[in-house]
Amino acid sequence: MKNEIINRVANSKLMTFDLEDYYPQGQRILFDIKDWLLEGFVLREKEFRKLALEHDWSKYKDTYVALTCSTEAIIPGWAYMLLSIHLYPYTKQVAIGNLETLETVIFQDVLNKLDLSEFKNKPVIIKGCSNKPVPENAYIMAINKLKPIAKSIMYGEACSSVPLYKKK
């Protein structure tokens, strides 16, 4: 069998780290507080607190929420903190910013909890393509988490990877 095709990638010790495998399920919601402001710009504490008390927070059960203000209003830090107090009993995660910031916060939490001991002293490829919205920051966090333990790190696909790091 001289013409037998051998899959050297499948037979190698190369391990794939796919961030998409760690993508947590759950709806992502952008909560814009501009509608809670007078003319979209002025936060009146008494009215803001009243709206927060009367709002049905249970509709955010098992979701990820990004708190933002789409106007140029200056929002005091306590306002986001107050909303997060109401959201935390229901949500999986709350962050200030846009949906990409929220995804970064979600992945930071996921990556911090991962046990990566299976990658110790192994060549690792961080898979580059994803069908889910994996934020670019997650790739930076992943390589920083893998670098102290992996033998080498590449990026992309096994057939066309880019070498990034090799332990000396």
Report pLDDT digits (tens) over 67-86: 999 999 999 999 999 999 99
Residues 126, 87 within the same domain = no
Q: Does residue 162 lie within any of the structural domains? A: yes
Domains identified in the chain, total number: 2
The answer to whether residues 50 and 19 belong to one domain is no
- Is position 96 within any domain? no
| Residue 107 lies inside a defined structural domain of this protein | no
| Distance (Å, whole) CA 88 – CA 83 | 9
Contact assessment for residue 125 and residue 145, using Cβ atoms and an 8 Å cutoff: no
- Do 77 and 34 share a domain, yes or no? yes
Amino acid letter for position 36:
W
Closest among 166, 80, 82 to 124, alpha carbons compared: 166
Q: Domain of 122?
A: 8-23+114-166
Which residues, other chains included, contact 5 with Cβ-Cβ below 8 Å and sequence gap of 6+?
Answer: none
Residues 36 and 82 in one domain: yes
Residues 158 and 139 in one domain: yes
d(CA 153, CA 123): 6
In a domain, 105, yes or no: no
Mean pLDDT of 5-16: 65
- CA-nearest of 167, 95, 163, 164 to 135 is 95
Residue 61 is assigned to a structural domain of this protein: yes
Q: Is 40's pLDDT higher than 70?
A: yes
What's this model's pTM, rounded to 2 decimal places? Answer: 0.84
Whether 102 maps to a domain, the answer reads: no
Q: What is the mean pLDDT of residues 51-71?
A: 98
| Start-to-end C-alpha separation, the chain | 39
- Between CA 22 and CA 45 the distance in angstroms is 40
Return the pLDDT at 6: 47
pLDDT at 102 over 50: yes
